[in-house]
Amino acid sequence: MKNFLAVALILLASLAAPAVRASGDILLRPFLENDKVGFKDPAGKVVIAPKYDGAKGTWEGLYLPYDPKKPLPPFETMKAEIRYFPNGLCAVQIGPKWGFIDPAGKVQINPVYKTVQPFHKGLAIARMADDWILINPSGKEVRKLYYDDISEDWLYGRTLAKSDIYYIFIDGDYKEVGDVRFTEVGKRVDDRTPVEDMSSWGYIDRSCKLVIKPAFSAARHFKGERACAAMGDGDEKRWGYIDRAGKFVIPPQFIEAKDFSEGLAPVAMTRLTEEIVSDYGFIGEDGKFVIDPDFVDAEPFSEGLAAVMFKGPGGKGLGKWGFIDKEGKTVLPPKYTFTSNFSQGVAGYTLSPDGLWGLIDKQGKVVVKPIFDNAVLLDFQDGKTAVKYKGKYVYIDPKGKVLGPAQ
């Protein structure tokens, strides 16, 4: 699991964030000028001149206490804003080190730390060389944290800490929670999070309690009521689908399997090399093939169409990507080097391995000629999605209009 966010991504999130509550009624918003970070008030007046190499905020709500009687919404639907001055202090980078400033820009805790996290409940996580500690608003050490690494990715009042080969969850009070330690954890925390205990995978809930005992050789996140899970190792490894009780509803029989979407799931039947599988088709919820396994690769359906890689000339090798419907009929012929899935009527495409990306509609008509560095992960929410454009991530609308910096 990725433990730390790149400074560049932090800054992009900062620039896109709304004006946020700092200390009392103070509202400050970061801005970037000549690669330095400063802060403005809601009227756009510079309050703190741009002189910092980085700044960190915390998403409002990420430290929410867990209440099993009040299920929290999925992360994707959470509406949050970034707070930069919890406890009246903002984490800033000066050169290679991190410290804290107040809303007037005065340094309150000297930049002596390798990394820090924003304050929460009057304490902040900081790293001095290889040692993790908790500090108070005066910068004094409160206690040591005996971990090798601590993630900055807080969600639902939890984050991951690593000790030796094991992961453990800690809460907003900086105490360990849950009933087991793990050697690997899924990409996000939800009501069924896959975790590995040495060599077997199971699932924990949001309170970090084990709800499906480790029994699988591999496991993925649930989508709806089903998740991909595997039994066996090496050449004997086969994927199937389990329900939320951990029981196989489609027995493990596939070389590879991907999520169900719109009632169908892409599965592969042949392994070409250790890294490459082939002969993808689509199964229904009963596990039977609806679309024969005739494709080199395939992605889940989206808006009635699925991106698939056709076989090369003579039915051999790697071909191009195109789109099929739920009957397996070709809707857009294979002429793209790579594509994204459809989202709000458009899909990303590129015509060369290192080429720029554009947008097409469901008739294959070009909506935007290739101008983006990358548009492989189109997922429009509230009429916008993030793409990489001229080296930076920006939001665009379904017509390809650039709306501003992306988070």
- CA dist 400 and 261 (Å) reads 26
Q: Average the pLDDT over 164-192 and give the result.
A: 82
**207 and 125, same structural domain?**
no
Place of tokens 């200390």: 23
Please say which residue of 92, 121, 150 terminates a domain: 150
Please report the pLDDT score of residue 326 as a whole number.
Answer: 97
Write the Ramachandran bin of 253: left for phi over 0, alpha for psi from -120 to 50, otherwise beta.
alpha
- pLDDT > 90? residue 225: yes
pLDDT grade for 13, boundaries at 50, 70 and 90: very low
- Let me know if residue 170 belongs to a domain: no
- Let me know if residue 161 belongs to a domain: no
Highest mean pLDDT among 24-38, 205-219, 329-343: 329-343
- Let me know if residue 345 belongs to a domain: yes
**349 and 291, same structural domain?**
yes
- Let me know if residue 175 belongs to a domain: no
Percent of the chain scoring above 70 in pLDDT: 86
Please say which residue of 129, 150, 171 terminates a domain: 150
**247 and 118, same structural domain?**
no
**207 and 66, same structural domain?**
no
Please say which residue of 126, 150, 174 terminates a domain: 150
CATH number of the domain enclosing 380: 2.130.10.120
- Which two tokens mark 82? 């970034």
Q: Residue type at 177?
A: V
10: enclosing H helix or E strand: helix 7-16
CA angle 3, 6, 11 (to 5 degrees): 135
Cβ contacts of residue 373 below 8 Å, gap of 6+? 356, 357, 387, 388, 389, 390, 391
pLDDT grade for 68, boundaries at 50, 70 and 90: low
Structural domains counted in the chain:
2
- CA dist 317 and 245 (Å) reads 40
Give residue 246's domain range: 193-405
- CA dist 242 and 311 (Å) reads 31
- Let me know if residue 234 belongs to a domain: yes
**210 and 90, same structural domain?**
no
- Let me know if residue 337 belongs to a domain: yes
- Let me know if residue 184 belongs to a domain: no
13: enclosing H helix or E strand: helix 7-16
**204 and 143, same structural domain?**
no
In this predicted model, which residue has the larger pLDDT, 22 or 343? 343
Q: Average the pLDDT over 136-143 and give the result.
A: 95
- Let me know if residue 183 belongs to a domain: no
> Helices then strands (H, E): number in the chain?
1, 41
Please report the pLDDT score of residue 9 as a whole number.
Answer: 32
SS percent in the chain: helix, strand, coil, step 5: 5, 50, 45
**377 and 261, same structural domain?**
yes
Percent of the chain scoring above 90 in pLDDT: 54
* Neighbouring C-beta atoms of residue 335, cutoff 10 Å: 13
- Lowest average pLDDT, out of 76-85, 166-175, 241-250, 352-361, goes to 76-85
Nearest in space to 250 (alpha carbons), one of 236, 262, 238, 261: 238
- CA dist 42 and 18 (Å) reads 9
Please report the pLDDT score of residue 81 as a whole number.
Answer: 64
**344 and 201, same structural domain?**
yes
- pLDDT > 50? residue 3: no
pTM of the model: 0.74
**145 and 219, same structural domain?**
no
Give me the phi and psi of 253, to 5 degrees please.
-150, -5
Write the Ramachandran bin of 206: left for phi over 0, alpha for psi from -120 to 50, otherwise beta.
alpha
SS3 label, residue 236: helix
- pLDDT > 90? residue 246: yes
Please report the pLDDT score of residue 34 as a whole number.
Answer: 84
**109 and 212, same structural domain?**
no
- pLDDT > 70? residue 5: no
Q: Average the pLDDT over 340-368 and give the result.
A: 95
- CA dist 375 and 272 (Å) reads 28
**271 and 357, same structural domain?**
yes
Average pLDDT, the chain: 85
Please, what is the end-to-end C-alpha distance for the chain in angstroms? 20
- CA dist 367 and 383 (Å) reads 16
- CA dist 129 and 332 (Å) reads 55
**226 and 146, same structural domain?**
no
- Lowest average pLDDT, out of 21-30, 104-113, 308-317, 375-384, goes to 21-30
- pLDDT > 90? residue 285: yes
